[in-house]
């Protein structure tokens, strides 16, 4: 391994390993060391709920590349069970500690990439070592939970938090045959989505036998011999054999916390460079420039982490690369329901100072005379006056996730409603109605805009 340029990367998740791989492509001779606190790198974080549900039978299927690929094929030194504890910017060193034996040593660097990700937020009453209390963020979390499920076969699961992780894990528990309850302190699940869209998730969860309580905060546990027997929330006491705390995440920025913004995440420029010379940051510990909002926002997503990691790694290795920003696109599938969004919600547009007009429409997924046609709910938000499309959200039992990609192109290219209505989208009865849900809702918002 050469040492003409020593690159140290803290974190072996999507951003960190994308940075390492990109750096190696740019500079075949630089030294690259990745420090990962956990036991695994380069795996599909977003696939972990499907391992718990049994859709993915073996956790090893989630590894994108085997560990040996980085060591033998790319000459990248990956240090597992190793956490970074301090930085010395003057000496350009990272102090790391072995999680297993506590051994401490320094790593010298010419370029440093911080890809420490995010960690679960846990309420104060959950900060004790209950045997049946879990968070869910990493492969190690998934393996611990899987082991408990296999050994104890719990019958009742309670999920605290109705965000993305919470609803997907509720689905996983239900698919394992467990009686499952979700408690969410907000008035609706999935706060990233508009009320009309998020409500579809609650409907499908209830039809699958999952109990959903919104506007209700968990306040404590009833315990016996280190085991949670029940969860207190308002006037309720929910019996539980297993409790998953999915109350959200926060960016891990302790190493460079003085450069965190209001969101708590690190602020970088468009090259993913921090204010510290030679130090880059990427992934769930950073903000990203939202092209529609016109400002940096905290939107931790796997797609963003991979793209930011590539840019950070290329710059750390000496190339000049730019991260172009995000549209805030995300999707999920909950049982048979698909949900997706891109751009800004109405509230987000308001916060960005954009005056809007919106429309919500329900239209069929395919021609109504075709068996299996299902309604798709679409909400489109446009800028008042200009008619520029700034946001879209969809939900339904059809091709929702790929349809939202049409809106991504519309929004990222700054198209107005009238121009978007001229898109020559494909049609055949078994794939789409003559007015695809994308065009149908655009037509409705166009009417409102021109009243």
* Positions marked catalytic: 46
| Calpha distance 399→163 (Å, rounded) | 22
The neighbouring-strand residues paired with 430 are none
Q: How far is CA 376 from CA 164, 399, 404, in A?
A: 20, 9, 12
Q: Using alpha carbons only, what angle is made at residue 365 by residues 171 and 405, rounded to the nearest 5 degrees?
A: 75
Q: At what angle do helices 195-207 and 164-175 cross, to 10 degrees?
A: 20
Q: Name every residue whose Cβ is closer than 8 Å to that of residue 182 and which is 6 or more positions away in sequence.
A: 158, 159, 161, 162, 166, 167, 170, 189, 205, 210, 211, 212, 213
| Calpha distance 359→331 (Å, rounded) | 20
Closest CA to 412 of 292, 308, 329: 292
Tokens 């890809």 belong to residue: 115
Burial class (CB in 10 A: 0-12, 13-18, 19+), 335: middle
Q: Report the relative pairing of strands 104-108 and 77-79 from DSSP bridges.
A: unpaired
Rounded to 5 degrees, φ, ψ at 410 are -60, -50
| Calpha distance 229→263 (Å, rounded) | 35
């Amino acid at each position: 391994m050469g040492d003409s340029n020593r690159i140290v990367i803290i974190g072996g998740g999507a951003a960190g390993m994308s940075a390492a791989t990109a750096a190696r492509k740019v500079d075949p001779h630089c030294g690259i060391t990745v420090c990962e606190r956990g036991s695994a790198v380069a795996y599909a974080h977003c696939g972990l709920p499907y391992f718990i549900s049994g859709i993915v039978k073996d956790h090893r299927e989630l590894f994108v590349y085997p560990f040996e690929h980085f060591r033998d094929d790319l000459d990248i030194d990956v240090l597992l069970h190793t956490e970074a504890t301090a930085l010395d910017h003057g000496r350009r060193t990272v102090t790391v500690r072995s999680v297993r034996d506590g051994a401490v040593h320094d790593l010298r660097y010419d370029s440093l990439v911080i890809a420490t990700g995010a960690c679960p937020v846990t309420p104060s009453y959950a900060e004790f070592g209950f045997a049946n209390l879990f968070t869910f963020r990493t492969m190690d979390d998934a393996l611990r939970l899987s082991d408990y499920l296999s050994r104890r076969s719990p019958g009742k699961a309670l999920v605290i938090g109705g965000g993305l992780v919470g609803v997907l894990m509720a689905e996983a528990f239900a698919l394992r045959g467990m009686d499952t309850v979700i408690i969410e302190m907000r008035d609706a699940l999935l706060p990233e989505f508009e009320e009309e869209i998020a409500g579809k998730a609650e409907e499908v969860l209830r039809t699958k036998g999952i109990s959903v309580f919104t506007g209700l905060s968990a306040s404590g546990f009833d315990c016996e011999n280190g085991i949670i027997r029940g969860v207190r929330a308002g006037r309720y006491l929910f019996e539980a054999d297993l409790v998953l705390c999915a109350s959200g995440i926060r960016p891990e920025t302790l190493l460079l916390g003085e450069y965190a913004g209001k969101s708590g995440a690190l602020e970088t420029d468009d090259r993913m460079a921090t204010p510290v010379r030679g130090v880059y940051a990427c992934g769930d510990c950073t903000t990203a420039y939202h092209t529609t909002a016109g400002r940096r926002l905290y939107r931790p997503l796997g797609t963003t982490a991979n793209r930011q990691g590539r840019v950070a790694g290329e710059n750390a290795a000496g190339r000049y690369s730019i991260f172009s920003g995000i549209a805030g696109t995300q999707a999920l599938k909950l049982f048979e329901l698909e949900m997706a969004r891109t751009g800004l919600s109405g509230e987000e547009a308001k916060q960005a100072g954009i005056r809007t007009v919106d429309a919500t429409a329900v239209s069929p997924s395919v021609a109504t005379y075709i068996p299996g046609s299902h309604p798709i709910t679409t909400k489109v938000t446009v800028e008042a006056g200009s008619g520029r499309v700034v946001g879209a959200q969809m939900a339904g039992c059809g091709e929702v996730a790929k349809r939202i990609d049409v809106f991504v192109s519309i929004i990222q290219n700054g198209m107005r409603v009238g121009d978007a209505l001229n898109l020559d989208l494909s049609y055949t009865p078994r794939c789409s109605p003559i007015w695809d849900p994308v065009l149908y809702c655009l037509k409705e918002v166009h009417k409102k805009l021109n009243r």
